[in-house]
Structure 1
Amino acid sequence: MRIRTVTVTPVAFPDPALLNSAGVHQPWALRAIVQLDCGDGLTGLGETYGDAAHLALLRTVAPLLVGLDPFHTNELTRRITEALGAADAPDRHGLTGGTGPEKTALKVLSPFEVACLDLQGRITGRPVADLLGGRVRDEVPYSAYLFYKWAGHPGAAEDDWGPALDPDGIVAQARRMVDRYGFGSLKLKGGVFPPELEIEAIRALRAAFPEHPLRLDPNAAWTVDTSRAVAAGTEGLLEYLEDPTPGIPGMAEVARDAPMPLATNMCVVAPADLAPGFGAGAVGVVLADHHYWGGLRRSAELAAICRTWGVGVSMHSNSHLGISLAAMTHLGAALPELSYAADTHTPWQLGTDVVAEPLPIVDGAVRVPEGPGLGVELDPDALARLHEDYLRCGIRERDDTAYRQQFEPDFRRRRPRW
């Protein structure tokens, strides 16, 4: 069995005006769908970022994978890393930490590795979770992902979620998330307003949801001193504080005094960060993201390293579709080390997807698909529609800062801001 064709399709789908420390989400989110076709109706699926620089690298390596045995993922890795060399494709938004050739290569590898695992599962008749060692749970818990947000994109109608710009708005958003999806934990994307206002929102969430674990993620918007003050001010309220300040040294300073674990998807983001990050005691939780850790098997290796260091594991999310949700669910099902509910943006997509039957979130969890491979099938008509949206939308790079500056010319991305 060999890969005959490799198809990379960029897509776009509507995204609400979600605020963060870098700016605000654009009206369209970009993704790329990877298909590895082995003939006889066997096609493996992967999903990744859709920014132009990343797409160019995906298309550079795609022809090199023709003829590859989908079980030979070591050879897959060799071909990709040799082809990319010192290539680097940094993210404009900067919300997933630093970049470099190592991280770039792993980002390019990831969707092809996932698609190979999907193929392996389809060929053997086994779910991907079995290929990762077998499931240790039948359902993977996810956390509600709360955002400060505008009522809608400027010039457009109010979206289905409406505004959330104060504690009452955040609590109302959380209530709707919990009522609709049954989430058992809540995460607030911070770094938008002065820290004391975001502490008020956390306190309002605690009052409204006394039993729900809470998290706050300002995307490194605070200085070390501000981070210490927020950590002290939220003692007993947060299960973890995520990336309060930039860099491993700053995180280590905060971690020494913080009464809760510090989590990260910004300062430990590639293998080279593990020894300095863990050695300095900078983080207590790593948000493993298979999209930039090189796929599912490398994410499982990351979790094992975290176990060795006594570091907790969750999973990070960016705006994504159902192939990524399926991959995350199989990974979470096979990770004994998964100690916190994973992030997901799925509710913000309001049902838009490229898979024929999107995986439902019930009681805050996604049940592991029973079918072979990832257990989801591509909807070709939906893929074609979302590709047409990509061609029409005019967005080719995610740039939260430049988009916000269209409406607030004085806005600047600063890290730290407070």
Structure 2
Amino acid sequence: MKVTSVVITPVAFADPPLLNAVGVHEPYALRAVVEVRTDTGAYGLGESYGDAAHLELLGHVADELTGLDPFDLNDLSRRAEGAVGGRTAADAHGLIGAGGAAKTVASVTSPFEVACHDLQGKHLGRPVSDLLGGATRDRVDFCGYLFAKWAAHPGHAPDAWGPALDAAGLVAQARLMADRFGFRSFKLKGGVLPPDEEVAAVRALREAFPGHPLRLDPNASWDPATAVRIAGELAGVLEYLEDPVAGIPAMADVARAAAMPLATNMCVVTWEDLTRAVPAGAVGVLLGDHHFWGGLRASQHLATCCRHFGIGMSMHSNSHLGISLAAMVHLAAATPAIGHDLDTHWPWKRPEDDVVTVPWRFENGAVTVPRTPGLGVELDREALARLHEQYLACGLTHRDDTGYLARAAPTVRLREDVHEPARPPRPDRLRPHRNDAP
């Protein structure tokens, strides 16, 4: 089995006005769907970010994959690193930690690695979880991801979720999440309301959902003194406090004073970060993300390291489609060290906005691990074409929460140090990239 061609299709799907420490989600989220085709007629699927700069790098890798054996992941890594050639794709929204050459290579490799696992599973007639060591559970639990939000994007009709700008609104949002998806744990995206108001919201959630694990993530928007104070006020309430401050030294200082573990997907995003965070005692729970750690195998290596050093593990989430959800489910099922409910943005996506033929279902906050070959999902080509046309029509080419907030609510000011300048789009990367074109 050899790779004959690769098609990368940028897509856009509707996204509600979810608020965070750097701004607000734009009306559309951007993703890239990767399809790796082989001489056997089989195809493998991967999913990644849809920003123009990232699409360009994905295209460089795609051009180097003809003839690749999908079982030879070492060869994939060599080809991807050579294609990236030291380029760095900076994070455009400031919510997943610092960028760098190593992180860029890992991010660009990941969707192709997932697609190769999909191909391997289809070729062998086994689910991806079997390739990763075997499923240790048949269901994977997720947590309800709560956001402060507006009732609607400016100029748009109100969405079905309604506004959530105080404790009562967030509790109402959590009740909807619990009713629709059965979540038994909740995470609040913080750094939006004043810290004391977010404490009040967490306490209101605790009262409304006694016994449900709760998390708070202000995306490194607090100073250390505020973080220590809030950690003290929420001692015994939070399962963990995620990224209250920026950087490993500050996280270590807060960790020494906090009663609960500190979690991160921002200060530890590369292996080098891990070698500094462990001796500093900065992190108690690491939120791995196969999208920027290099794929499924690398994420399992990360889980082994976390287990060795006594660090818990969960998974970070960005706005995603069903291919990414499949990869997360297989990875978690085959990785016992992932012991916390996973993050997911899934509830914020409209059911009709996906590219897989069979919709995913959440029952009691969990997803059943597929036992069909590969990832267990197939590509809905009509839906893919529709979401690609939506990508072309929406006019967005990179994620810019801060810029959108400035346009939509110009009186609101956020920190200036988190905003990356806009990059001009590459017209040749706005349409599907194919390496089999004549």
Please, what TM-score do these two structures have when normalized by structure 2? 0.94
Distance apart, 1:410 and its partner CA: 4.0
Distance apart, 1:22 and its partner CA: 0.6
Deviates further, 138-147 or 358-367? 358-367
**Residue number in structure 1 paired with 2:319:** 319
**Residue number in structure 1 paired with 2:432:** none
**Residue number in structure 2 paired with 1:242:** 242
**Residue number in structure 1 paired with 2:67:** 67
CA distance in 2, matches of 1:415, 1:187: 26
Q: Percent identity?
A: 60
**Residue number in structure 2 paired with 1:21:** 21
In the alignment, is residue 160 of structure 1 matched against residue 160 of structure 2?
Answer: yes
Name the aligned partner's letter for residue 260 of structure 1: M
**Residue number in structure 1 paired with 2:106:** 106
- Shift in CA distance, 234/416, structure 1 to aligned 2, threshold 3 Å: farther
Indicate if the aligned counterparts of 1:183 and 1:365 stay in contact, CA closer than 8 A: yes
Indicate if the aligned counterparts of 1:316 and 1:342 stay in contact, CA closer than 8 A: yes
CA distance in 2, matches of 1:91, 1:324: 19
Structure 2 unaligned runs (5+)?
A: 419-438
SS of alignment partner, residue 303 of structure 1: helix
Indicate if the aligned counterparts of 1:245 and 1:416 stay in contact, CA closer than 8 A: no
Distance apart, 1:41 and its partner CA: 3.2
1:9-88 matches, within 5 Å, as: 9-88=9-88
CA distance in 1, matches of 2:167, 2:416: 24
Indicate if the aligned counterparts of 1:146 and 1:174 stay in contact, CA closer than 8 A: yes
**Residue number in structure 2 paired with 1:148:** 148
In the alignment, is residue 259 of structure 1 matched against residue 259 of structure 2?
Answer: yes
Indicate if the aligned counterparts of 1:13 and 1:389 stay in contact, CA closer than 8 A: yes
CA distance in 1, matches of 2:89, 2:402: 18
**Residue number in structure 1 paired with 2:185:** 185
Indicate if the aligned counterparts of 1:220 and 1:415 stay in contact, CA closer than 8 A: no
CA distance in 2, matches of 1:416, 1:192: 16
**Residue number in structure 1 paired with 2:402:** 401
SS of alignment partner, residue 323 of structure 2: helix
CA distance in 1, matches of 2:34, 2:324: 11
CA distance in 2, matches of 1:102, 1:298: 13
Distance apart, 1:306 and its partner CA: 0.1
CA distance in 2, matches of 1:298, 1:238: 29
Q: Deviations over 1:40-65 (max 9, x none)?
A: 43100000000000000001110100
1:264-413 matches, within 5 Å, as: 264-351=264-351, 352-413=353-414
Indicate if the aligned counterparts of 1:45 and 1:115 stay in contact, CA closer than 8 A: yes
Aligned-pair RMSD on alpha carbons? 1.1
Q: Paired residues, what number? A: 417
Q: Deviations over 1:159-183 (max 9, x none)?
A: 1111000100000000010011111
In the alignment, is residue 90 of structure 1 matched against residue 90 of structure 2?
Answer: yes
**Residue number in structure 2 paired with 1:130:** 130
CA distance in 1, matches of 2:257, 2:416: 21
CA distance in 1, matches of 2:25, 2:187: 18
CA distance in 1, matches of 2:333, 2:76: 25
CA distance in 1, matches of 2:149, 2:117: 37
CA distance in 1, matches of 2:165, 2:417: 21
Distance apart, 1:415 and its partner CA: 8.2
Indicate if the aligned counterparts of 1:246 and 1:416 stay in contact, CA closer than 8 A: no
Distance apart, 1:125 and its partner CA: 0.4
CA distance in 2, matches of 1:286, 1:309: 11
SS of alignment partner, residue 4 of structure 1: strand
Please, what TM-score do these two structures have when normalized by structure 1? 0.98
Distance apart, 1:414 and its partner CA: 1.9
Distance apart, 1:267 and its partner CA: 0.2
Q: Deviations over 1:129-180 (max 9, x none)?
A: 0000001111010000000000010111101111000100000000010011
**Residue number in structure 1 paired with 2:7:** 7
Name the aligned partner's letter for residue 359 of structure 1: W
**Residue number in structure 1 paired with 2:422:** none
Q: Deviations over 1:65-117 (max 9, x none)?
A: 01100000100000111221220011111100001000000000000000000
